Copies of this chain bind each other. A is one copy, B any other.
Amino acid sequence: MGRPRAFDETEVIRAAAELFASRAYDGVSVDDLVTTLGVHRNSLYKVFGSKRGLYLAALRWYLAERVSPVLAELRTTADPAAGLQALLTSDRDDLDLLILAVVERAPADQEVADLVAGVLREVDAAVARALPAEAIAPALTATILGLRLRARAGGTAPDAGTVLLHHIQSSGT
């Protein structure tokens, strides 16, 4: 019984993730969310409890639906080198929210810190499988993050990471 929901919860989370990926947490107001998500304040608080609750839902969705698939592909692909190269391409948006979460939310929110720490370990593991020397995986994960980070400031060569990757591959086992 009762009036049925007039919005798709997953779509709302997806749109929230997009918004939180573009600006810092404190830079996204509840008014912004209500306006761009098309959901009423009341429903938003009913479903997610708070702005932080919606943020955490958006972050979890992003890690599960945007980041994890990329890692799964890297783990199962027949051509790991191509997968790595794709990750090292900076003109993508499948790590933006993760980077913003690491830089500005993790230091202030333990739950965010735990979430991103877990996913970064997964990235390390996936990257390691595609490398001649597994020990450099954490550093290469950092390179991936750093290239995306640079892209946010504009003016980065999209294939800067490819050069490093070839250097590593040509020298490794």
Contacts and interface: CB of A to CB of B under 8 A. Distances in A.
A60 B86 CA distance: 35
Contacts of A145: 142, 145-146, 149-150
Given A23-B108, A141-B146, A117 B160 contact: no
Interface stretch (A6-14, A41-49, A132-140): A132-140
Interface residues of A, number: 49
A116 interface: yes
Interface string A80-108: 00000000100000000001101110111
B107 A103 contact: no
Interface of A: 22-27, 88, 99-100, 102-104, 106-108, 113, 116-117, 120, 133, 135-136, 138-147, 149-150, 152-157, 160-161, 163-164, 167-168, 170-172
A25 B100 CA distance: 13
A120 to B, nearest CB: 6
A146 B167 CA distance: 19
